[in-house]
Amino acid sequence: MSGFEFESLEKTLEKYIPENELTEVKRILFGNPTKNLELHSSAEIVASERDFELQGHAFQSAPEQLRASRRVRVGLIQNRTVLPTDAPILDQISAAHSRIAELVEVAAMCDVNIVCFQETWTMPFAFCTREKEPWSEFAESAEDGPTTRFCQELAKKYNMVIVSPILEREALHNTLWNTAVVISNSGQVLGKTRKNHIPRIGDFNESTYYMEGNTGHKVFQTQFGKIAVNICYGRHHPLNWLMYSMNGAEIIFNPSATVGALSEPMWSIEARNAAIANHCYTCAINRVGTEHFKNEFTSGDGKKAHHDFGHFYGSSYVSAPDGSRSPGLSRTRDGLLVVELDLNMNRQISDKWSFKMTGRYAEYASELAKVVSEDFKPNIVKE
Amino acid sequence: MSGFEFESLEKTLEKYIPENELTEVKRILFGNPTKNLELHSSAEIVASERDFELQGHAFQSAPEQLRASRRVRVGLIQNRTVLPTDAPILDQISAAHSRIAELVEVAAMCDVNIVCFQETWTMPFAFCTREKEPWSEFAESAEDGPTTRFCQELAKKYNMVIVSPILEREALHNTLWNTAVVISNSGQVLGKTRKNHIPRIGDFNESTYYMEGNTGHKVFQTQFGKIAVNICYGRHHPLNWLMYSMNGAEIIFNPSATVGALSEPMWSIEARNAAIANHCYTCAINRVGTEHFKNEFTSGDGKKAHHDFGHFYGSSYVSAPDGSRSPGLSRTRDGLLVVELDLNMNRQISDKWSFKMTGRYAEYASELAKVVSEDFKPNIVKE
């Protein structure tokens, strides 16, 4: 990756390209323009004091005669880990809680209905080290661990649905999972959903720590719409997105932790393609910053041992079913992205493009069943 | 769509953004940079004389110890219809043949191994009119129609595989199909493959003319690699791409005809996502220009009757499995895009990212079978 401290794609385009051409560039790159969402000036001030970026955008949708618009505000939070990775674990967790409380308070000032944090948000993304300890100690009960209880308080206080992706320890079988806990705006734990696809690539040694999820493609009915959580690497799997959508998801969150050299050119493609292909909203969230580890480790790439995983490039964004997307948060700073969307757009775009009706899913179900059988013969035509 | 005659995204970025930031912009937008591919200067001269754009790019891949690199040159051709849409049909077809012969000759000068033309390349995209005649008269036999015979001559002459998407008339049952004929570099017809998903949107009244294809997800083994053809609207369906890949496709062509106001922000997303998700190359081809029809028609959008379908925005491009993509052809001009790629990259990236191994397809086959049953109950969690 270039050493150039590149803040954001959108800002660079706006800085250099003249207005009339910029409109076309943005149309081609980002689709129908989002509107600027007016946020309370006090929110702007507090965000600035707390040193994080605050952006507000709204997707434009059409009114209908028989349904009132179903406007929802989602909040995407990206943040650096607060304390050094060798600070005492309880201190690291407390510091993460405090930082998130600062961001969620501003989300509440912006009337956010559903907020989602980044993947395993209470800890550094320490799987690169392949050390089991102390990192496994960050794992908590999804149902009543301290982080879930902390989120329940916030949810009740602000009348906000909270998606809280953590490292889960299931005590009964003593297994670890990469899990998102969904907490209702009432403060109740609505349920949990686990990461379905575990990476086997680079320093993402997650398969060393936990297995593919066993919770299928649950969708959570909240007061503000039906939501699902496709955790991190699951965004590379179109069938994963499809199945959340098939179960009725209107908004699919994708809390992630991914680094620049590896995935950045794919980042703006995959969640957006999923919004288009499935007639729903998708929210891609990535952490920011570089996390340093005390013990050196190698990366399976023949290079020298080192102490960090690379730069998490942030760039969290929201995609709409009409192919448009919001601007992204910064590549380098903590941030809260507030996006207002109308859930009615999902059906409107589905009525327009009809991907679900033209999908021929019965035939794919049958074809896919054949593909996975041991005696599958590919359909190859030869001269 | 803006009236601004916007030539290409890439050219605008290059015009305004300073070098060091441009590198980052391009990395984020387009991935690993393609190399400029030196083409014979005579090819450049002839292309210029014949008034079409010629671009040459090469994806960079790593050498291996046990396999020689398998470098292949693909040619993507986009072109305006040559004659007015009310010229005699035979004249229109002949003019299309002549124009394509001009472009393919230059492709041969550039050592192209596999060339693909745009969707239904011998005719205007007349389905917007909903008139059956005279447009149905453009339909030909895939096996021995004049266009297939014409392509066989070219294929043999230039030792080139040709993908020729036409409107097919199957004489036995007198049915029409949207079909791609694949012709081996020997001149033999290797086979045909039909459009699997038919749009129900806007002026794409194709479902009035032909039905969903019945040829499944055939892959054609050519001397230059295993190829498949996902025609136009099929690019919106991730399962369609997946199944071509599951049958072994190394390069998937997507000959299309699509217009700006509708699909342009999705154009750069879908074929590229498919290359990433399936560890293969994808080649997206769109026609260019605006086609005028003598009889006015309405578009089901409450607006006044008119005589054209909108602007076909060209912008043909190639995506690689590592998430990178080639620059696109112009939005407004005829063009030939020559891209050299190494088929070895598919396996390299698959080894790196392992989407096929982590795909859990057996579970999706079973889930998808449930989804399409009439008594499917979505997995929705409520408070």
Neighbours of B158 (CB within 10 A): 19
| Helix H or strand E segment including A191 | strand A189-194
Question: Residue written as tokens 């033309």?
Answer: B117
Distance (Å, whole) CA B331 – CA B6: 7
Is position B195 annotated as part of the catalytic site? yes
Give how far A375 is from chain B: nearest CA, Å: 13
ipTM: 0.96
Distance (Å, whole) CA A360 – CA A368: 12
Minimum CA–CA partner of A241 in chain B? B238
What 3-state class would DSSP assign to A36? Answer: strand
The structural domains of chain A, ordered by start, are: 34-371 (3.60.110.10)
What pLDDT, on a 0 to 100 scale, did the predictor assign at position B3?
Answer: 45
pLDDT exceeds 80 at position B231: yes
Chain A residues whose CB is inside 8 A of the B59 CB are none
Is position A119 annotated as part of the catalytic site? yes
Mean pLDDT of chain B: 96
What pLDDT, on a 0 to 100 scale, did the predictor assign at position A262?
Answer: 86
B9-33 tens-digit pLDDT: 999 999 999 999 999 999 999 999 9
- Kindly give the residue spans of alpha helices, DSSP state H, lying in chain A: 9-16, 19-30, 41-49, 89-109, 146-158, 238-246, 260-278, 344-353, 361-371
Which one of A232, A280, A283, A291 is the catalytic residue? A232
Residues 6+ apart with CB under 8 A from B189: B142, B143, B148, B152, B181, B182, B183
Distance (Å, whole) CA A259 – CA A102: 25
Give how far A90 is from chain B: nearest CA, Å: 31
pLDDT exceeds 60 at position B193: yes
Chain A residues whose CB is inside 8 A of the B268 CB are 28-29
Using the beta-carbon criterion (under 8 Å), do B196 and A368 form an inter-chain contact? no
Chain B residues whose CB is inside 8 A of the A268 CB are 28-29
Minimum CA–CA partner of A18 in chain B? B16
> Which residue, B90, B105, B1, B114, is CA-closest to B43?
B105
Neighbours of B19 (CB within 10 A): 7
pLDDT tens for chain A, residues 1 to 383: 444 579 999 999 999 999 999 999 999 999 999 999 999 999 999 999 999 999 999 999 999 999 999 999 999 999 999 999 999 999 999 999 999 999 999 999 999 999 999 999 999 999 999 999 999 999 999 999 999 999 999 999 999 999 999 999 999 999 999 999 999 999 999 999 999 999 999 999 999 999 999 999 999 999 999 999 999 999 999 999 999 999 999 999 999 999 988 899 999 999 999 999 999 999 999 999 999 999 999 999 999 999 999 999 999 999 999 999 999 999 999 999 999 999 999 999 999 999 999 999 999 999 999 999 999 999 999 99
Task: Report the amino acid identity of residue A108.
Answer: A
Mutate to test the interface with B, among A368, A374, A377, A382 (most CBs of B within 10 A): A368
Using the beta-carbon criterion (under 8 Å), do B383 and A186 form an inter-chain contact? yes
pLDDT exceeds 90 at position B258: yes
Helices (H) and strands (E) in chain A, counts: 9, 16
B142-175 tens-digit pLDDT: 999 999 999 999 999 999 999 999 999 999 999 9
Which one of B232, B283, B291, B340 is the catalytic residue? B232
Give how far B305 is from chain A: nearest CA, Å: 20
Count of A-B CB contacts under 8 Å: 273
Cα distances (Å, whole numbers) of residue A234 to A237, A364, B218, B248, B355: 5, 20, 28, 23, 10
Minimum CA–CA partner of B245 in chain A? A378
B346-370 tens-digit pLDDT: 999 999 999 999 999 999 999 999 9
Chain A residues whose CB is inside 8 A of the B216 CB are 367, 379
Chain B residues whose CB is inside 8 A of the A196 CB are 360
Which one of A53, A151, A168, A195 is the catalytic residue? A195
Using the beta-carbon criterion (under 8 Å), do A365 and B365 form an inter-chain contact? yes
Using the beta-carbon criterion (under 8 Å), do B21 and A4 form an inter-chain contact? yes
Phi then psi for residue A151, to 5 deg, are: -70, -35
What pLDDT, on a 0 to 100 scale, did the predictor assign at position A255?
Answer: 98
Distance (Å, whole) CA A318 – CA A34: 11
Which one of B102, B151, B168, B195 is the catalytic residue? B195
What 3-state class would DSSP assign to A308? Answer: strand
Between A4, A219, A360, which is nearest B212 by CB?
A360
What 3-state class would DSSP assign to A361? Answer: helix
What pLDDT, on a 0 to 100 scale, did the predictor assign at position A2?
Answer: 43
Chain B residues whose CB is inside 8 A of the A20 CB are 2, 4
pLDDT exceeds 70 at position B5: yes
| Contact status, residue B110 vs residue B118, Cβ threshold 8 Å | no
Chain A residues whose CB is inside 8 A of the B367 CB are 216-217, 243, 246
Is position A264 annotated as part of the catalytic site? no
Using the beta-carbon criterion (under 8 Å), do A226 and B380 form an inter-chain contact? yes
- What share of chain B in percent tops pLDDT 70? 99
Give how far B109 is from chain A: nearest CA, Å: 26
Mutate to test the interface with B, among A163, A269, A276, A319 (most CBs of B within 10 A): A269
Mutate to test the interface with B, among A4, A5, A358 (most CBs of B within 10 A): A358
Distance (Å, whole) CA A353 – CA A339: 24
Mutate to test the interface with B, among A263, A273, A278, A325 (most CBs of B within 10 A): A273
Minimum CA–CA partner of B373 in chain A? A362
pLDDT exceeds 60 at position B2: no
Using the beta-carbon criterion (under 8 Å), do A380 and B226 form an inter-chain contact? yes
Phi then psi for residue B328, to 5 deg, are: -95, 155
What pLDDT, on a 0 to 100 scale, did the predictor assign at position B4?
Answer: 52
Chain A residues whose CB is inside 8 A of the B20 CB are 2, 4
Chain B residues whose CB is inside 8 A of the A188 CB are 383
B122-132 tens-digit pLDDT: 999 999 999 99
